Amino acid sequence: MGLTTSLTNAVSGLRVNQDSLALVSKNISNSGTPGYHSQSLNVVDYNSQSSSYARSVGASRAFNASLQTYYNRQVSDTANSSIQASYLDRLQGFMGKPGSAGSLDTIFSDLQNALQGIATSPDDYTSRSNAVTSAQTMAETLNRLSGTIQGMRQEAEGQIASDVHNINGMLNSLSEVNSRMLDLGMTDSARATLLDQRDRLVGSVAELIDVRADYRGDGTVALMTRSGVGLIDNGVSTFKFESAGSLSANSVFDPNSTDTKVGKLTLTTPSGLTIDLVSQGVLQGGELGGLVALRDKTLVEAQEQLDEIASGLAQAFSTVNSPGVAAPAGALAGDPSGFDVDLSALRPGNDVLFSYTEGGVSKQVRIVNSTDAVDYMDASGQRVIGVDLTGDSSALAASDAAAALNIKFPGLTISSTGAGNLRILDQGAAGTTDVKSAVARSTSTGLQGAGLAFNLFVDQGNAAYTNNLDGVPPQKQGFAARISVNTAVVANNKLMVQYEVGGTLGDADRANYIIDQLSSMSFTSGGNPASNANKFQLTGNLGSVIGQVIGFQGSSINAALTKADDRQLTLDTISDQMDTEYGVNLDSEMARLMELQNAYAANARVISVVKELLDALLGAV
């Protein structure tokens, strides 16, 4: 090997060492930079008959497309679970744990105890006052919890608006990165920096909405949702959120965009196509998906459960039970038996309960006074039918209510007998049916002179609560936010025991009646289970319903927290793997730095020796 060849080899080594030292220094200085991917120098050796030398041909950036895709998905899922767990954890703090001070079951137990106090000492002013105070506390607690839930829904709506602003900014920044990646004159260092920025932006977008990323060979990336809606490719899609303003219990989502009462979240593609992300089910993860689920489902169900409690509370105090009268013998051929039920006091939402056996099988039926012709089996196994029972017998006949019921119960004979009565008969000795009981349940709208029931709990404006299904919205919707104690009872607590004008204060009949109602009156939530398949069905007396609500919310919150923790653990594991593959190992880099320093010194020594030899050779010449 000649001196010139040795010099060429040494000089090329110095250049490679300089490039390597610069890259190692960059790795070390960025070891703590989030999203930085370590880089390594690509070196090519050239060999010929007369010489050999090394040359750097750019840098390689650590990257694993499969790992990055897995990371993006987990970021989205973790953000979705975390935001829901955060809200539900706060909700549990407001609702309280079973048996804790201020929780619904504790307050309801206090109300029951106060009623027991009246039953023991109805003429005691303090006992009556305590009962009224307990009733007010119950109503105010339902009001407060309802307000809290609606406040959280409003907060979720505001956070959706903020996320939409952020995601639009990120997508525009990512589009700029894509454009710059197409610059062929870019240095490797600048390109690596852009790729780091690209991956950080994709991860940030994935935190807000579920995405699938297509990493291309030229460094650009295309994004779409898991459901296949494009976010960025040849152009950038734009998110838009139209706030609905202040939300209330009546502000619910409707798939029909013209009827929805919550903010609308849409996406406009580069081609001009606008997609409703919520009604079309595009959101499958990310913080946005979690916020929408909270606003439209989770918190709405919590509100509905409070409404069920409020509804049951009002009905337990105000329901008048009017048992049917045995139908006269010989009403029809075959000597059928049954009952005549008085419908004259029924209001919209009131009902008639009857039971019968058919072929030895016991069946329960609830006929609701409603223009909505529903017909379903509720969660308790009771058949629920909607029929317009309002008005006198002629109105009943005109509406064909009895005829409609006859069609639904071919084994029974149902007819109108005049004066607002409904007659329910079995088939007698020749048939397989046997009517066992029938009772009309109406709402007492007075405080005295109408029996033991009274409307202690009322709707807005001291209006009677009848659970009217025909209003828009139905009366039960949002009732927990409106329920209050009848102002007349607050002003005169004697009405807690005096069910007749001028009646004695020593009569405990009203208190005992309400105590029995609270323990025996059964409620079933949710309407038709087929249309509420994903909702928890409540059934039982009011105490059981309250316990089920608290238990359901507690288990839901614990499940959400566990899910969020599990997903965070998975994300941490993936992040650790990414740190292993992408991160800077300072020990390795420092060892590499020492190797380069030694190599640099060796090449410098070769150059120095060659210079000395050339100087000696020239001196000899």
Q: What is the pLDDT of residue 14?
A: 64
Band (618; pLDDT cuts 50, 70, 90): confident
Q: pLDDT above 70 covers what percent of the chain?
A: 85
pLDDT, tens only, 538-555: 899 999 999 999 999 989
Measured distance CA(306)–CA(301) in Å, rounded: 9
For residue 396, pLDDT over 50 is answered with no
Tell me the mean pLDDT in the region 480-493.
96
Measured distance CA(383)–CA(365) in Å, rounded: 5
Band (59; pLDDT cuts 50, 70, 90): confident
CB proximity list for 531: less than 8 A, separation 6 or greater: none
Q: Which of 375, 366, 418, 424 is nearest to 397 (CA)?
A: 418
> In this structure, are residues 412 and 433 in contact, taking their beta carbons and an 8 Å threshold?
yes
Q: What is the pLDDT of residue 598?
A: 67
For residue 530, pLDDT over 80 is answered with no
For residue 53, pLDDT over 80 is answered with no
Band (317; pLDDT cuts 50, 70, 90): very high
Tell me the mean pLDDT in the region 157-175.
96
Q: What is the 3-state secondary structure (H, E, C) of 274-318?
A: EEECCCCCCCCCHHHHHHHHHHHHHHHHHHHHHHHHHHHHHHHHH
Virtual CA dihedral for 558, 560, 562, 563, nearest 10 degrees?
160
Q: What is the pLDDT of residue 255?
A: 86
Band (465; pLDDT cuts 50, 70, 90): very high
Tell me the mean pLDDT in the region 166-195.
89
Q: What is the 3-state secondary structure (H, E, C) of 551-602?
A: HHHHHHHHHHHHHHHHHHHHHHHHHHHHHHHHCCCHHHHHHHHHHHHHHHHH
For residue 394, pLDDT over 50 is answered with no
Tell me the mean pLDDT in the region 518-523.
93
Q: Which of 246, 601, 314, 365 is nearest to 480 (CA)?
A: 314
For residue 331, pLDDT over 60 is answered with no
Most confident listed range (3-7, 296-300, 339-343, 592-596) = 296-300
Q: pLDDT above 90 covers what percent of the chain?
A: 53
Band (48; pLDDT cuts 50, 70, 90): low
Band (392; pLDDT cuts 50, 70, 90): very low
Tell me the mean pLDDT in the region 496-507.
91
For residue 395, pLDDT over 60 is answered with no
Measured distance CA(382)–CA(203) in Å, rounded: 51
Q: Classify residue 382 by burial, with Cβ atoms within 10 Å: 0-12, 13-18, 19+.
A: middle
CB proximity list for 594: less than 8 A, separation 6 or greater: none
Band (398; pLDDT cuts 50, 70, 90): very low
Q: Which of 266, 262, 300 is nearest to 283 (CA)?
A: 266
> In this structure, are residues 70 and 574 in contact, taking their beta carbons and an 8 Å threshold?
yes
DSSP 350: -
Measured distance CA(231)–CA(270) in Å, rounded: 9
Element (H, E) at 174: helix 125-181
For residue 393, pLDDT over 50 is answered with no
Token pair recorded at residue 595: 């190797």
Q: What is the pLDDT of residue 421?
A: 81
pLDDT, tens only, 210-223: 999 999 988 899 99
Measured distance CA(91)–CA(71) in Å, rounded: 30
Task: Specify the range with the lowest mean pLDDT, choosing from 308-322, 445-459, 517-531.
Answer: 517-531
Most confident listed range (287-296, 339-348, 379-388, 553-562) = 287-296
Q: What is the pLDDT of residue 591?
A: 73
For residue 1, pLDDT over 60 is answered with no
Tell me the mean pLDDT in the region 204-231.
93
> Which value, in Å, is the radius of gyration of the alpha carbons in the chain?
38
Tell me the mean pLDDT in the region 488-510.
92
Tell me the mean pLDDT in the region 122-131.
94
If you search the block for the tokens 């529903």, which residue do you land on? Answer: 374
For residue 101, pLDDT over 50 is answered with yes
pLDDT, tens only, 375-387: 998 888 899 999 8
Q: What is the pLDDT of residue 299?
A: 95
CB proximity list for 299: less than 8 A, separation 6 or greater: 87, 91, 149, 152, 153, 156
Task: Specify the range with the lowest mean pLDDT, choosing from 7-16, 173-182, 281-290, 561-570.
Answer: 7-16
- Average pLDDT across the chain, whole number: 86
Q: Classify residue 314 by burial, with Cβ atoms within 10 Å: 0-12, 13-18, 19+.
A: buried
pLDDT, tens only, 279-291: 999 999 999 999 9
Tell me the mean pLDDT in the region 579-597.
71
Higher pLDDT: 608 or 103? It is 103
CB proximity list for 163: less than 8 A, separation 6 or greater: 208, 287, 288, 291
Q: How far is CA 560 from CA 81, 533, 555, 595, in A?
A: 7, 20, 9, 52
Q: Which of 193, 28, 43, 35 is nearest to 588 (CA)?
A: 28
Higher pLDDT: 488 or 92? It is 488
Token pair recorded at residue 559: 């499940």
> In this structure, are residues 519 and 543 in contact, taking their beta carbons and an 8 Å threshold?
yes
pLDDT, tens only, 404-440: 787 888 888 888 776 678 888 887 766 778 889 999 9
Q: What is the pLDDT of residue 432?
A: 78
Helix, strand, or coil (residue 227): coil
For residue 320, pLDDT over 70 is answered with yes
